[in-house]
Structure 1
């Protein structure tokens, strides 16, 4: 069952498990995505508004009407949706907080991987803050200002502290720290595009 944290006649907010696609992929083995699960489970009109990576878990908003889908999509395009993630990264950053502004683009020879490219990359900004220092790792809060593909994962790699369990970007030591990507979308906040009410939904990290 996909947990539903919030619902009204326009929107629902659910928790995506890790190792689940947000939308269908290519091939018959990639059709059992979050959208299909939610539609089959309880909300037959639910439509995806934004995505999380296959390996990432956490809160996602889905629209129940065409009007809500268009309005919610516009909020994301205008960066009027606040998101916060929790991650465990390899090692210990020297600082307790920082801002990473490193442009990103697709690494075409290794798609879907992304790379930092100061010349041809698109602007990308991530705020990070230490929450807890562990024996071999650090728990951090990550707040993306932009929403580039794999942004948080590449920015943590660029910082020198890849996210634990990241099969795409972690070095051997970071990959060995966990059997899944330790990245969870823990909080989302926005003004309801139909009712105008403030919405803030949280889901604790499962790690």
Structure 2
């Protein structure tokens, strides 16, 4: 767990894969990113979340006023997010996946296409690849649960190491939150944050 940025209003952490962002149910799920951070500063609050198996940038607010302002930016889709992923199969060029998503099962939680689902849009672009794999940049324009994982699985290109959506659950999930970009709600200045690792697998 590495700190990437800090100012009077936010702390940005580069989260490792396998660490919960907040405590789960049961004694074995009490260790989390926010639990660790609050040992030094109890007035820290999660603004958004990453899945346990996803690594990369997580933004945490310092104080309730900061939480309100940053949460509003996320709700209004004024935060730009960039992810890196390695998927099964070969993709060329770039494209978009506009498929509404809904939860299809609870244990494990699995999401997928559903006509009554919530609207979801993912932009993708090929970076590199081989005969049976592709490295992608991903830009989610909405923030649905499991959006990137479910969208890529839905087009037949699940992410490597995905324990829910892929047939190869061994190893880590090859999904990394690389960058965040926004206009700072307190200073008005553009803020561009980038992970220390672009492709950590």
TM-score w.r.t. the length of structure 2 is: 0.94
TM-aligned CA deviation for residue 195 of structure 1: 1.3
Structure number having the greater strand percentage: 2
In structure 1, the partner of 2:154 is: 158
In structure 1, the partner of 2:123 is: 127
Unaligned runs of 5+ in 2: none
In structure 2, the partner of 1:147 is: 143
Q: Distance in 1 between matches of 2:76 and 2:41?
A: 27
Q: Distance in 2 between matches of 1:71 and 1:199?
A: 15
2:200 aligned with 1:206: yes
Q: Distance in 1 between matches of 2:48 and 2:7?
A: 18
Q: Distance in 2 between matches of 1:110 and 1:121?
A: 19
Q: Distance in 2 between matches of 1:110 and 1:38?
A: 29
In structure 1, the partner of 2:165 is: 169
User: 23, 47, 50: which one pairs with 2:48?
Assistant: 50
- Which runs of structure 1 show a deviation greater than 4 angstroms over 4 or more consecutive aligned residues? none
Q: Distance in 1 between matches of 2:59 and 2:31?
A: 18
* Pair 1:68–1:89, CA change in 2 (3 A): same
TM-aligned CA deviation for residue 39 of structure 1: 2.1
Q: Distance in 1 between matches of 2:10 and 2:79?
A: 14
Structure number having the greater helix percentage: 1
TM-aligned CA deviation for residue 109 of structure 1: 5.3
What SS does the corresponding residue of 1:85 show, helix, strand or coil?
strand
- 1:30-69 matches, within 5 Å, as 30-40=29-39, 42-69=40-67
What SS does the corresponding residue of 1:72 show, helix, strand or coil?
helix
2:191 aligned with 1:195: no
TM-aligned CA deviation for residue 37 of structure 1: 1.4
TM-aligned CA deviation for residue 197 of structure 1: 1.4
What SS does the corresponding residue of 2:66 show, helix, strand or coil?
helix
What SS does the corresponding residue of 1:114 show, helix, strand or coil?
strand
For these two proteins, the number of residue pairs brought into alignment is: 199
In structure 2, the partner of 1:12 is: 11
Q: Distance in 2 between matches of 1:150 and 1:113?
A: 8
What SS does the corresponding residue of 1:163 show, helix, strand or coil?
coil
Q: Distance in 2 between matches of 1:45 and 1:134?
A: 46
